[in-house]
Amino acid sequence: MFEDSMVEKEVNIRKRVLRDFNKREEDFSTLREYNDYLEEIETIIYNLANNIDVVETNKKIEQYKKDNREQIAKSKSKLGRNEYELEEMIELEKQKEEERKIELAREEVETKKKKIREKEALIDELTFSDANAKNIVESFASAIQTQKKEAKASVSSVVRATQFSTGIKFGNQGSQNYLSMPKIEEGPLYSYTPIRQQIEGPSPPGWRELQARGYVSHVRSECEVDRAGGFKAHVACLRALQEAMAGLYHNPSQRQAEFATV
């Protein structure tokens, strides 16, 4: 599965260990205990993957299995909701992927056969027909284009009924009836109201003014890694200017007078 044998070894060890070390956060009284438990699991996996204290580590695993036999069995028989949904999603995706592969392979074979038949029909028509060869070729080309358009228009999705390994069926063959969704009365349309901030200072320059007025001339320009994450030097420059200008007109005595009148 993996090109790196060490990665494959660690994955297999992790699967084997987690089958028994299957406690969840709700099984612990504190978050610290749960984190210590996870750290212990990672230590065990690391030791086994790198051949460190293998004998002692295996003894620790066996002792844990003896001490927590009932808990292990209970956790195995009762999957958490997240694991349950994940299992369904994985199996559904596998089913769809397999169906896509089969459908693509079938379509490819049918396309090749159809091209061969069309080519043979064209050759026969050119050989035995008395009509103009150019008209015959144009007629065949027009028919092929018409067939392609009809094929695109008549594409329909086929959903096959199947079931998960958990026994949950999915798919629809007309045997399921669904209740119509009740119509919800819509309220008034949302009206956007711009935010008005009391900066108590001069208005900072706009986004377009940063470059035109040279504000970003002395700011470190972003590199490719920064741009890949959506960062621009204008963002840092604009924020610095907003912070620098905010509060320059602040007058404590005036603010106190306003509060006193209120």
The answer to whether position 184 is within a domain reads no
For residue range 211-232, what is the model confidence (pLDDT) as tens digits?
888 888 888 888 888 888 888 8
Instruction: Provide the pLDDT for residue 187.
Output: 77
Q: Give the DSSP H or E segment for 87.
A: helix 81-128
The answer to whether position 62 is within a domain reads no
Is the model more confident about 147 or about 166? 147
User: Containing domain of residue 5, as a range?
Assistant: 1-52
The answer to whether position 24 is within a domain reads yes
Instruction: Provide the pLDDT for residue 191.
Output: 85
The answer to whether position 169 is within a domain reads no
Measured CA to CA, the distance from residue 243 to residue 33 in angstroms comes to 43
Instruction: Provide the pLDDT for residue 157.
Output: 44
Quickly tell me which residue has 């293998």 as its tokens.
Answer: 54
Query: Could you give the angle at the alpha carbon of 245 between the alpha carbons of 239 and 247, nearest 5°?
Result: 120
- Identify the domain boundary among 84, 118, 152: 152
The answer to whether position 166 is within a domain reads no
Q: Other C-beta atoms within 10 Å of 210: how many?
A: 21
The answer to whether position 99 is within a domain reads yes
Beta bridge partners of 169: 163
Structure tokens at 220: 């470190």
pTM higher than 0.85 for the full model?
A: no
Measured CA to CA, the distance from residue 61 to residue 48 in angstroms comes to 11
Are 95 and 51 a contacting pair, CB within 8 Å?
no
Measured CA to CA, the distance from residue 247 to residue 202 in angstroms comes to 9
Instruction: Provide the pLDDT for residue 45.
Output: 92
The answer to whether position 258 is within a domain reads no
Same domain as 48, residue 77: no
CA atoms within 13 A on the CB side of 59: 4
Residue type, 210: L
Span between the terminal Cα atoms of the chain, in Å: 73
Same domain as 141, residue 78: yes
Beta bridge partners of 79: none
3-state SS of the chain: helix, strand, coil percent to 5?
65, 0, 35
Structural domain count, the chain: 3
The answer to whether position 181 is within a domain reads no
For residue range 44-67, what is the model confidence (pLDDT) as tens digits?
999 999 999 999 999 999 999 888
